Amino acid sequence: MLKLWLYQFYALQHLSWPFIINDLNRNFSLELQRNTNQQLKQWARISRSIDNGLLFRQKQNFGLGLTSISDHYEQMQVIKCELLSHSLDPNIVALYKTRESLNAKLKRVWKATNIVKEANTEVNLDLKFPSQPNKQGIGFGKFNPNPSLAEKRKLVSTKTAYFAEQKRIAHSASLKQQGAWLQWAENALPFDMSWKNLIWGGISPHIIKFVLEASVNWVRTPNLLKLWGLKSTSSCPLCRATVCSLHHILSNCTVALNDERYTWRHNSVLFEIHKVIQSHVAERNACVVNESLPHISTSFVPAGKPPTKSIKKLHSGLIAGSNDWKVLVDLPDSKYVFPPEIFATLERPDIVIWSGKLRKVLLIELTCPSEENIEVAQLRKQTRYLQLMDQITSNTNWSPSLYTIEVGARGFIAHSLERTFLRLGISRRILSKVCKRVSIIAARCSFAIYLSANSIIWDKNRSLITLDA
């Protein structure tokens, strides 16, 4: 991965100046890119036949976030056109206008002036009618209706990169096998592919390779090996199912289910989630501050300025208002009984949090489905505990709440975990660490399940996978 970092931040930067000052043909950058792609895939340890979009898609689009040489060439050419069109020399501006008018007639040939014109149109539209991509309300956006030339040039360059990204996404949508990530892109968080995590995160390169290839369903499974002509059958070695795909190995094999392989992955993830929730509840119970009184926090005051006071709420979320919260978790060593003071039932949600003072109980249910079935798994769990929720509400004076959490088998975490933790009052700083650790644990477990897809031997009493603090 360090070689990929050198490519991104060293090799490409040395191409910036030649790409700006020279009128190179775009085919030169494309040929250079074709000769580089295989080397990049080798450094990333992924298959040579994988779609190049996996390397160059942005990280929020389940890619590595590298910059292709052809895209870098286009951005440098766009920057050059912006510099020429806004030059202080009127002769340079006139020369650029002449070139722009001539290139406008070439519709089938890539020309930087045509891209700049299109990008400028989009940027001007965004400046005139600004939008807000996040969930903040009106007035929270940072809009600059009158950007400087340098800021406008950066906006045009970003818009050009956006065009290239949309083309890669459209190409992924046309791929039946490797475009599978689009099915769960809106329901799951991307794996942490930051350079800090890839190089110094202590993750095995085999796990990174597995996650990257699993995101595009390009792991060497029997159905792919048959598709490539390397095997005569695509049946599962364990349960003899007709089609043994990655989805089948990680979440749909009956032998693996009976051997409790999926249960082992589920409990490993649950152990990490429970550890964080237990720590948060213990911290909440240890707080003896009267929550009815606001906490006044004073920040650093520079010399000559009056002090400013801000009212900060110490604790918020679902477990605010009491300090007698208790937690139970359904792990192999516990096998708890649902609190009889709440309701008598045979059901055992994965995590139960309740307060006798507030007469409030929170049920948290974890599922580790394949990413394609995140919404189905969520609906299934909600339906399963619907009767229990109605019984507690109707027959007791307790107030129940159910929260489902889904962690994908490939290591991609559903947004439900993020929403649930935020409702519990867990800070985003801790949430970011939890998501990273949980995704790594899920990926490591699934990688072990994948490696054991040909083995009938499985230790049901094996230790759960945990990460060192």
Please answer whether residues 117 and 100 qualify as being in contact, where contact means their C-beta atoms are separated by less than 8 angstroms: yes
Task: Give the mean model confidence (pLDDT) for residues 369-393.
Answer: 93
Binned at pLDDT 50, 70 and 90, residue 312 comes out as: very low
Task: Read off the pLDDT band of 438 (50, 70, 90).
Answer: very high
pLDDT value, residue 8: 92
- Rounded to whole angstroms, the Cα distance separating 424 from 84 reads 54
Neighbour-count burial for 348-387, b at 16+ CB within 10 Å, e otherwise: ebbbbbbbeeeebbbbbbbbbbbbbbbeebbeebeeebee
- Is residue 292 pLDDT above 70, yes or no? no
The order of strands in the sheet holding 351-355 is 326-329, 351-355, 360-367, 399-406
Is 249:256 a contact under the CB 8 Å cutoff? yes
Q: Which amino acid is at 168?
A: R
| Spacing of C-alpha 24 from chain mean position | 37
pLDDT in tens, 40-62: 999 999 988 999 999 999 999 99
Alpha carbon 278 to chain centroid, angstroms:
25
What does residue 92 show for φ and ψ, rounded to 5 degrees? -65, -40
Q: Stretch 140-163: mean pLDDT, rounded?
A: 86
Closest CA to 44 of 180, 213, 262, 243: 213
DSSP line for 64-122 = -----HHHHHHHHHHHHHHHHHT-S-HHHHHHHHHHHHHHTT-SSS--HHHHHHHHHHH
Let me know: does 40 contact 56? Beta carbons within 8 Å: no
Q: Is the pLDDT of residue 257 over 50?
A: yes
**β 351-355/326-329 pair status:** antiparallel
Whether the Cβ atoms of residue 416 and residue 379 lie closer than 8 Å to each other:
no
Residue 289 has pLDDT above 80, yes or no: no
Confidence grade of residue 407 (pLDDT, cut at 50, 70, 90)? very high
Q: What's the Cα-to-Cα distance from 264 to each of 57, 229, 353, 373, rounded to whole Å?
A: 33, 34, 23, 19
**Which two three-digit tokens encode residue 214?**
């699993």
**Residue 286: predicted pLDDT:** 85
Q: Could you tell me the sign of the dihedral formed by the alpha carbons of 138, 139, 142, 145, in that order?
A: positive
pLDDT tens across 196-230, in order?
888 888 889 999 999 999 999 999 999 999 999 88
**CA–CA gap between residue 234 and residue 231 (Å, rounded):** 7
Confidence of residue 299 (pLDDT cuts 50, 70, 90): low
Residue tagged 């020369």 (tokens): 95
For residue range 7-40, what is the model confidence (pLDDT) as tens digits? 999 999 999 999 998 888 888 999 999 989 999 9
Residue 400 scores a pLDDT above 90: yes
Q: Position of tokens 């009491």?
A: 322
CA 42 – CA 385 distance, rounded (Å): 48
Cβ(328)–Cβ(364) below 8 Å: no
Which amino acid is residue 34, in one-letter code?
A: R
Per residue in 326-344, pLDDT (tens digit) is 999 999 888 889 999 999 9
Q: Which residues pair with 312 in a beta bridge?
A: 295
Tokens of 142: 């940072």
